């Protein structure tokens, strides 16, 4: 099941996609978001700068990664980390937790 399908089933609207770190950073600066899912690896670069921007704007986020917790920069590990392949139940728990905050 695709992440978009899982999010749709959870009632989420997708604001957009970023295929590169630069696109993610631009969206993190300007997009009106309730939360963001960030793939750690975006075309060979990390999404950590986008995470820094989101954190500065007070927008919650979670990482999606095939690298596990070790693939996330230390100071960003407080964010939820979803392992690939994404378990729909785990994603639902993360979104519900973000929604409560």
Q: Is 101 exposed, middle or buried (0-12, 13-18, 19+ CB in 10 A)?
A: exposed
Tokens of 10: 């959870």
Q: Span 14-18, mean pLDDT?
A: 94
| All structural domains of the chain with their residue ranges | 3-87
CATH architecture for the domain at 3-87 = 3-Layer(aba) Sandwich (3.40)
Does the global pTM surpass 0.85? yes
Q: What is the mean pLDDT of the chain?
A: 94
Sheet harboring 61-65: ordered strands across? Answer: 36-39, 61-65, 81-83
Query: pLDDT digit string (tens) for 72-100?
Result: 999 999 999 999 999 999 999 999 898 77
């Amino acid at each position: 099941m695709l992440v978009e399908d899982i999010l749709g089933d959870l009632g989420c609207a997708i604001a957009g996609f970023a295929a590169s770190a630069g696109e993610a950073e631009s969206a993190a600066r300007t997009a009106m978001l309730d939360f963001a899912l960030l793939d750690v690896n975006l075309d060979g670069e990390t999404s950590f700068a986008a995470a820094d921007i989101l954190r500065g704007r007070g927008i919650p986020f979670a990482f999606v990664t095939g690298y596990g917790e070790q693939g996330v920069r230390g100071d960003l590990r407080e964010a939820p980390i979803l392992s690939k392949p994404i378990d729909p139940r785990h994603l639902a728990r993360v979104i519900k937790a973000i929604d409560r905050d």
